[in-house]
Structure 1
Amino acid sequence: MDETREPLAMTVHLLANSGHGSLLQQTLDQLLDCICPEVRVFLVSERVSPVKYYDKCHSKRSRFPGMSVLLFLHERLGEERLFRVLDSLQHWPWQCYPTQNAQGRPCPYILANQEFYSLDNQMPVWGVRQVHCGTEVLRVTLYCSFDNYEDAIGLYEMILQREATLQKSNFCFFALYSTESFALQLSLKQLPPGVSVDPKEASVLQFKVQEIGQLVPLLPHPCVPISHTRWQTQDYDGNKILLQVFLFGLCDL
């Protein structure tokens, strides 16, 4: 078999506080090792100092987490495996994510009797679902405000250089990697009118692109270089994006 493989078009970078990076990376690696050991989607690095989140105004009437990760695990591989994954999410450093807002009202699109977890309130929320047919899926979902959804589809189609698969009028996904038993997806979900997105400040989506010059003028926000291969920008709802110039066949510097 050919050992060379084109790198993942997308990785998720999580920014941990100083001294916590290795713990969080190990936690994620252990969780995903029994699901997709062949790919490393989540990369943890440490920031020099914590972000002062209280400097940002989060007083809007209804906000929804900007990013989630759902693991769709197949029942044919046994309940023991599913329970093992769920059990790991219920122990430190994972924390149960509250499914109600400050007024005690259920958050929109949080399914009944479904628990969500997180490693940090500025990182994605995680959940587990059991599937009965098809492949297992690791799905990274970006939640889009109602008015930004169509523009977001166009933006990520342009970055990924592929069309989205539309499943519903308010939901689509991009197939980023697949085998006979596993698939990695980036999905976009439209929120109801009046619900704003709460971008996760410690979560960054990095995409590999072959060319940056023609892409920059088409982006909705300024795109600034942070190294000789990486450029930083954000999408319509404020989710952080890194664009890494990569030529297939050359070393990734």
Structure 2
Amino acid sequence: MDETQGPLAMTVHLLANSGHGSLLQRTLDQLLDCICPEVRIFQVSERAGALEFYGKSLPKRSRFPGMSVLLFLHESLGEERLFRALDALQHSPWQCYPIQDVPRRLCPYLLANQDFYSLDSQMPVWGVRQVHCGTEILRVTLYCSFDNYEDAIRLYEMILQREATLQKSNFCFFVLYATESFSLQLSLKQLPLGMSVDPKESSVLQFKVQEIGQLVPLLPNPCIPISSTRWQTQDYDGNKILLQMVPWEAGLFHKCQWYQQACGERDCRAAATQLECRKGKV
């Protein structure tokens, strides 16, 4: 697999309490160094004050975290590395995060721990899983309520300008960055009927987009400008989204990929040429 070019289309912003930002950033960097030291997808900042939340209120029975981060580590690279990552999650400032109504399955691997951990009740839950084949994966998963899943796929396809890879009827993913041995993914997971989502208010997904004017009317919730280049909204289940406007050239590669998939253009250079010609129309 060739290395994906260009800047990351998505970053995850985590809002820490005052005085805790540097510690949490170092904690995440140390954990992620074992799988993808060259990719800095998580950015921690300190909140200035109380968080403001707008939009539809979620039912009180919400109990499944809206976002998780899983590290899929390859067993062939050493047992010590696997256990070192898990050990890091079992010490402060990490805390074990109990999740109700999650079926436990027997795990045949050396690393049988299937628990989740968190740095804050309003941040994503984290876990380490063992894989024995394929590439290592850093996967950010958004959990979708049963009725919102199909709409969520279309929403993130529209934002990312690429098609999701459907792996199961209730699971799909987008590859955001990849090398021969590593893949960074954003995935969507459909929850069982009747289970609702608990969005994490200290977690924000930021996406780079070229067009905002055509995108805003298609979003499911209000889109509010917070600066000259960034707009804030949320998805169907209340997960916070930031849309960052970037120059056309910075995102041309991703546009080419989407154009190839949507229009059947085989050659990326030809797609780029056509996109330049359609610059004011796409």
* Structure 2 length-normalised TM: 0.80
> Superposition RMSD on alpha carbons, in Å?
2.1
Q: Aligned residue for 1:127? A: 127
Query: What is the Cα deviation at residue 247 of structure 1?
Result: 1.7
Report SS of the residue matched to 1:26: helix
Identify the structure with the greater helix proportion.
2
Q: Which amino acid aligns with 1:168?
A: K
Report SS of the residue matched to 2:99: coil
Query: What is the Cα deviation at residue 60 of structure 1?
Result: 2.9
Moved more, 44-53 or 136-145: 44-53
Q: Is residue 245 of structure 2 the alignment partner of residue 245 of structure 1?
A: yes
Q: Distance in 1 between matches of 2:65 and 2:248?
A: 34
Q: Which amino acid aligns with 1:108?
A: V
Q: Aligned residue for 1:32? A: 32
Query: What is the Cα deviation at residue 209 of structure 1?
Result: 0.5
Q: Aligned residue for 2:190? A: 190
Q: Aligned residue for 1:168? A: 168
Given that 1:15 and 1:44 are in contact with CA atoms closer than 8 Å, whether structure 2 keeps it comes out as yes
Given that 2:166 and 2:173 are in contact with CA atoms closer than 8 Å, whether structure 1 keeps it comes out as yes
Query: What is the Cα deviation at residue 248 of structure 1?
Result: 5.4
Instruction: List gaps (5 residues or longer) in structure 2.
Output: 107-112, 251-282
Q: Which amino acid aligns with 1:133?
A: C
Report SS of the residue matched to 1:123: coil
Moved more, 209-218 or 60-69: 60-69
Query: What is the Cα deviation at residue 48 of structure 1?
Result: 1.4
Q: Is residue 153 of structure 2 the alignment partner of residue 153 of structure 1?
A: yes
Higher radius of gyration, 1 or 2: 2
Q: Assess, with a 3 A threshold, how the Cα gap between structure 1 residues 67 and 51 changes in structure 2: closer, same or farther.
A: same
Instruction: List gaps (5 residues or longer) in structure 1.
Output: 101-106
Query: What is the Cα deviation at residue 63 of structure 1?
Result: 2.2
Q: Assess, with a 3 A threshold, how the Cα gap between structure 1 residues 97 and 72 changes in structure 2: closer, same or farther.
A: same
Query: What is the Cα deviation at residue 61 of structure 1?
Result: 3.2
Report SS of the residue matched to 1:43: strand
Of residues 97, 102, 106, the one that matches 1:108 is: 102
* Structure 1 length-normalised TM: 0.89
Q: Distance in 1 between matches of 2:11 and 2:231?
A: 15
Q: Assess, with a 3 A threshold, how the Cα gap between structure 1 residues 50 and 84 changes in structure 2: closer, same or farther.
A: farther
- The C-alpha deviation readout for 1:30-74, integer Å capped at 9, x for no partner, is 100121011101000100135499xx9776335211000010000
Q: Assess, with a 3 A threshold, how the Cα gap between structure 1 residues 111 and 44 changes in structure 2: closer, same or farther.
A: farther
Q: Assess, with a 3 A threshold, how the Cα gap between structure 1 residues 246 and 96 changes in structure 2: closer, same or farther.
A: same
Q: Distance in 2 between matches of 1:249 and 1:219?
A: 24
Q: Distance in 1 between matches of 2:8 and 2:150?
A: 25
Q: Which amino acid aligns with 2:88?
A: S
Q: Distance in 2 between matches of 1:42 and 1:180?
A: 22
Given that 2:62 and 2:198 are in contact with CA atoms closer than 8 Å, whether structure 1 keeps it comes out as no
Q: Distance in 2 between matches of 1:184 and 1:164?
A: 14
Report SS of the residue matched to 1:185: strand
Q: Distance in 1 between matches of 2:51 and 2:8?
A: 28
Query: What is the Cα deviation at residue 114 of structure 1?
Result: 1.3
Q: What is the count of residue pairs matched by the alignment?
A: 239
Query: What is the Cα deviation at residue 193 of structure 1?
Result: 1.0
Q: Distance in 2 between matches of 1:44 and 1:148?
A: 29
